Structure 1
Amino acid sequence: MFATYLLWGSIFYTAINIPYGSMASLISPEADDRAALSTFRSLGSVVANIAVGIGAPAILYASDTAGNQIVKGELFPIVALVFSILSIASYLVCYFMTTERVKAAPAENVKQVGFLETVRTLVTNRALIGIVVASICILAAQILNQSINQYLFIDYFKDKSGVMVMNAVSMLPGIILAPVAVPLSRKFGKKELGIFGSLSGAIACFLLFIMRTKSMWTYIIINVIGFLGFGVFNLIMWAFITDIIDDQEIRTGSREDGTVYAVYSFARKLGQAVAGGLGGWALGWIGFDSAAQVQTEAVVQGIYNIATLIPAVLYLIVGLSLIFIYPLGKKKVLENIEILKAKQSAN
């Protein structure tokens, strides 16, 4: 299990994900198409999360007559095998039905760039730095919420069912907003939507922190309303990378789809690693006692603070990074697209 997990997560998944993710900038040069590709990718992720997070547990877990949970261990390999077969089928369909329409320059016209030169251009790329900061903070906030919610609903709201309700309704913004993601990005621009969405999430979390509500349903409803704005940003986030790839080509004269996406992917992995430990560290800071049946009032209030204040600050940082660091607003993106279309025609 240890060996296969490392092979899957650290080698094979990365080897597939980097070309798959960077391919979006080659499927179409149009901003709307790229926003649509990002939207369907994010929507596909929601569908997969429902299947794995809700469907699989319904098969793998059961309860006996006394209400004790039974784990059907013998079914885990079978469920994993089914998902593996489905993933292979999906990759094959993607391979045979995808057309790269943005043609690369002839090999003899491509300037060979050394590793150090590539690093220098990437670390001076404001757009890439801005989206990396935003993505790390988004991942930290979302993973922290997921890990801390089980403690929040059990110890603060005293309702274990709240975790399942929260997990289910958290998927609603993505599903509801999917049909309007492309029209909104066309009208307002991706950066502009990202700023609005991240600040909406920050306001919702700050409001909950100030309210200190004891109502589980009030907490859930404000979260959903606040993240309706943030939902569009999540849907089109992958399209930001296509804009950065275009901008990198205009700045340097070299098209580096895979390199830019790989840097972004690596930054997300760092964010996931940090976020994975953030929940545990935060619980340690407030004195959470895993052996205690009932936590002290100070710890309970600390759990609420972690679930609301830390995500609020992180979402605020996302908005500020887009405002002050990320330079690719709607006007600049459209200008870059026209420049590259003219270059493509000339080739």
Structure 2
Amino acid sequence: MTASISDHLLAWYDKHARALPWRLPPGAPLPDDPAWPYRVWLSEVMLQQTTVAAVKPYFEKFTALWPDVTALAAAPDDAVMAAWAGLGYYSRARNLMKCAREVAVRGGFPTTEAELRQLPGLGDYAAAAIAAIAFGQRAVVVDANVERVTARLFAITDPLPGARKAIRAATAGITPATRAGDFAQAMMDLGAQTCTTRSPRCLLCPLRAHCRAHAAGAPERLPVKPAKKPVPERSGTAFWITRQGGAEVWLVTRPGKGMLGGMRALPDDGWSARADGSGMVPLAGDWRELGAVRHGFTHAQLTLRVMALDTDSPPPGEGQWRPVSQIEDAGLATLFAKAARLALAGG
């Protein structure tokens, strides 16, 4: 049964693999090129908690600006953070830079799953994916798509996250010794294209004959997910501070740690996922309220009020004036890009 599952899946992948800018064609030999593991690693970091469609333009931008890990390691932090702006989960970008610099010092990426796991920002999934895809090692790769496919194949009915141990063991049982990278990507593609969360396309599935959930008649019920916890509501204020009649706007860089750490932003009143902002303006003046924007984080929903002031007084703290005409190129985090668009629209 094990060989049959992997053989059927790889035959399907050979015909139906997604063409992605960080992938080789199915069955292609691994390139003797140090930029290859860099591309695999970069794509895996970007794809964490983000869709393929969202990642594609960022991947192409990054590889054009920094074609290998040495180039990325030498890049200024603010340039990398600006290029990452809009992709979200900004701790990934900070770990990306740490990892690139560590790999550059080492002279290249380690090739084993255990060594890869020691690099900044790489957990079990990413280390296994890079070991399998970049270096051809047999590794058990389990992301959300693989989790769903395996839970249905073996009718694993325990709720998540408790079911993950059984899911990983079952995935290990069908992972072949050869073409492990293609197998992992085939499982991902099957989950993304066919064994989808809702309305799985079972008639098109190459593993239908082996799927216990399909045989039971309700594959969409698996995996069993835990009840969602309520997400707290938070409120804060962002300040659109301009000078010269609105020609320039004051931008800051957020502290390296914490929410949106290291990103360019508008000054704000200190809101966080744990607490509302103070609502206090940073300097005296004739402030105007422009409205508010909404933004969802993993641990909170934020309503951010936007207040505007044109002034000749220097704002407190460190920051820089930037032409309002260039605000789209400033690398603002998505939340503050929303606030800037509201300000530019006049509220």
Q: TM-score range by the shorter chain?
A: under 0.3
Higher strand share: 2
Q: Which has the larger radius of gyration?
A: 2
Structure with higher RCO (Cα < 8 A, 6+ apart):
1
Higher helix share: 1
TM-score (norm 1): 0.22
TM-score (norm 2): 0.22
